[in-house]
Chains A and B, each alone.
Chain A
Amino acid sequence: MRRIISVLMENEPGALSRVVGLFSQRGYNIETLTVAPTEDETLSRLTVTTAGDDHKIEQITKNLNKLIDVVKLVDLTEGQHIERELMLIKVKATGAQRAEIKRCVDIFRGQVIDVTSTVYTIQVAGTSDKLDAFVQAVGDAAILEVVRSGVSGISRGEKVLSL
């Protein structure tokens, strides 16, 4: 099962490599990974999506918690949560295609953020599924380049992950 684990950790050099190292060392899979400092610049927020059964996920969270740099973590998929991923995608857009792609962008509530006579650069945000669907809708033939940010997530409602 796919899980989103959100980690609050010390914003220090080496902290990220410890987290990534833990996954490779113990044979856990990383599907996506994002990390950036929070409003408190001594802390970073890291979001990792991974897959595994309950036993494996329990081991992952326990081992992450053992890392000295990790302050707190939550498995967002255990509760109600919101997830978003950002995609920048560059597509061929010439002739009749231009209007067709623009329509598609509108349907997916994306934005064309850069234009040339032959190329659109599009920004789409949403769940990973939605981004997958957009890629499919545009079609392989048109795609020149895809950049995805990896998943960021946050709990719904009052629940927060903070100190």
Chain B
Amino acid sequence: MLSGGDMLIRSLKEEGVDLVFGYPGGAALHIYDAIFRQDDVKHVLVRHEQAATHAADGYARVTGKVGTVLVTSGPGATNAITGIATAYMDSIPMVVISGQVPAEKIGEDAFQETDMVGVSRPIVKHSFLVKHASEIPEIIKKAYHIASTGRPGPVVVDVPKSTVNPAETFPFEYPKKLKMRSYTPAAKGHSGQIKKAVSMLLEAKRPMIYAGGGVILGEASHLLTELAQKLNYPVTNTLMGLGCYPGNDKQFVGMLGMHGTFEANTAMHHCDLILAVGARFDDRVTNTTSKFCPNAKIVHIDIDPASISKTITADVPIVGAVDSVLKEMLELIKGSDETPDESALADWWKQINEWRERHGIYTQSRYNTEGEQIMPQDVIKTLYEVTNGDAIVTSDVGQHQMFAAQYYPFKSPRQWVNSGGLGTMGFGLPAAMGAAFAVRDKDVVCVTGEGSIQMCIQELSTLTQYGLPVKIVCLNNQALGMVKQWQDMVYDSRYSEIHYEDSLPDFVKLMDAYGHVGMDIRKKDELREKMEEAFAMKDRVVFVNVYVDPSEHVYPMMVAPEGSMRDMWLSKTERT
């Protein structure tokens, strides 16, 4: 016989949950008492509920497991909303358990009452309101099943205090199987469609493989890599897909989209076939949809039917799990008498390599290296070298995020953790914290800016408490850089509300206050040495505050809103 609270924690244990990120409060106290009574499920006390969700999110992104969050009702629940929305937009598996006022008080505007199921409704995959303690095991089982299968996403379980009352106990049995008549995520793709896709793929003269976050979520990176290398076709990744194909491979043409490489965006525009895998033709990729890839036939593989033909119509839609579909495609390709048109492909590669040579971002010509100032691109390149390209890199949102995406070629999936869909500033540090709980043998680095870092900076204290040696690399340009870039380009440099005057904290002193190490880097010639010094401190949190050229922009940048994918600014003065 167990109380609702004990059942809840036991159910988490049965689900294999080892870590819960949370923050206690009135309505959640019975649950916290149940946590106190056991040792299997560990709880991490964050400093703000938003960070609990981002940390669980970061943990989920690097492990592939479901991240778990526990918050109290009212402000605890609403503080979690930004993190839930972040996970929702990037399809991250997460279960958020929120305390709620006692059932009999719901609707009475009780202390710390918020309709959490209602508030979170548009940003969850599903939600539950517990009505009776005896429902808890089945609801938890369903919550983890829904969060982790199909297109993953966050699930909210709202738990009224009355359902976890320690005075009332019930028999506990964790369900072994689930029956949900209304939820059957797609598994295998349609064989006829897959056959059609393979023959189109083999007939293509100018193919492009466009792979997104779904490949990582679907654990299909090795299959995608095998398929691409078998065919020798060029691969581009979305911001969310980085790492699903080795970033240093010669077939990789870089990220596409708003700040994608010249060669990726131009090749997309001119290709005659797009194999889209686990990507959703986001507006940051397509630019003006009516001008999108005018000559391309589109094969679109996605587990979510609603992602297919949402913004761009697919010629061959394939609804299914990407691993299963790619496996089937590979078998067909291997068994086929047909092979890609070698001479057409050679011409295509010649063209792509010429584009790459001309305007690729990995050539020194893309930004000015002659000046006195440290260039943000060089900071990322140095970071790459110092960490041997092996670090788990999280980022916040802004210019630094794009520089990290561009200049740190990710070798493997789950190495790059960023808020792609929602673009949540404040994500990077707590996400790194969540990642650091899961990954002990690699550097975990948060690439951030002096704007973003201040949105969840309180978590420096959590890092101290749990001894998590996260490294923070701050590209400090003393302004909200991406906003500034837009104000430069679209608003004639009318800088509206992007400067902090002289109010930026002394980050070195701040780190000291939290018991961490802070260092300022101002000179070009000390960049490498100081970064090495920072990463040599394996068991410390080190904040590397690098003063970078405040006038630098991120390029390439697609010309919006009227342009196609090939319309880009390549520098402040050069346009395609």
Question: Footprint of B on A, CB under 8 Å?
Answer: 9-10, 13-14, 17-18, 21, 25, 55, 58-59, 62-63, 65-66, 68-71, 163
Contact = CB atoms under 8 A, between A and B. Distances in A.
A31 B193 CA distance: 36
B127 A65 contact: no
B182 A69 contact: yes
B130 to A, nearest CB: 12
Interface size class of B (residues with CB under 8 A): 10 to 19
A62 B182 contact: no
B309 A55 contact: yes
Given A9-B182, A10-B182, A59-B310, A68 B146 contact: yes
A18 B182 CA distance: 14
Interface string B100-131: 00000000000000000110011001110100
Given A9-B182, A13-B129, A21 B121 contact: yes
B183 interface: yes
A160 B122 CA distance: 31
7 contacts: A55-B309, A62-B306, A66-B304, A68-B180, A68-B182, A71-B181, A71-B182
Given A59-B310, A66-B304, A66-B306, A17 B121 contact: yes
B305 interface: yes
Max count, chain B CB within 10 A of own CB: residue among A21, A55, A68: A68
B121 A18 contact: yes
A9 B183 CA distance: 11
Given A13-B129, A68-B146, A68-B183, 6 more contacts: A10-B182, A21-B121, A58-B309, A59-B310, A66-B305, A163-B181
B306 A21 contact: no
Contacts of A17: 118, 121
Contact of B129 (A14, A18, A71, A163): A14
Nearest to B118: A17
Nearest to B310: A59
Interface string B283-313: 0000000000000000000001110011001
B182 A59 contact: no
Contact of A59 (B129, B146, B306): B306
A62 B146 contact: no
Nearest to B155: A68
Contact of B125 (A10, A55, A62, A68): A68
Contacts of B310: 59
Contacts of A69: 182
B545 to A, nearest CB: 41
A14 B131 CA distance: 13
B149 to A, nearest CB: 11
A45 to B, nearest CB: 14
A68 B124 CA distance: 11
A26 to B, nearest CB: 9
Interface in B3-21: none
Contact of B117 (A14, A59, A66, A71): A14
Given A10-B182, A59-B310, A71-B182, A65 B305 contact: yes
A59 B117 CA distance: 24
Contacts of B126: 68
Contacts of A59: 306, 310
A122 to B, nearest CB: 38
Contacts of A71: 181-182
Closest 9 CB pairs of A and B: A62-B306, A71-B182, A68-B126, A25-B122, A62-B305, A63-B306, A68-B183, A21-B121, A66-B306
A110 B415 CA distance: 69
Contacts of B146: 68
A62 B303 CA distance: 12
Contacts of B129: 13-14
B168 to A, nearest CB: 22
A66 to B, nearest CB: 6
Interface string B155-190: 000000000000000000000000011110000000
A69 B180 CA distance: 10
Contacts of B121: 17-18, 21
Nearest to B121: A21
Nearest to A24: B122
A18 B124 CA distance: 11
A57 to B, nearest CB: 12
A21 B117 CA distance: 12
Contacts of B181: 71, 163
A78 to B, nearest CB: 17
A25 B126 CA distance: 15
Contacts of A13: 129
A59 B310 CA distance: 7
A17 B119 CA distance: 11
A161 to B, nearest CB: 14
B490 to A, nearest CB: 26
Max count, chain B CB within 10 A of own CB: residue among A25, A59, A62, A65: A62
A25 B125 CA distance: 14
A130 to B, nearest CB: 35
Nearest to B122: A25
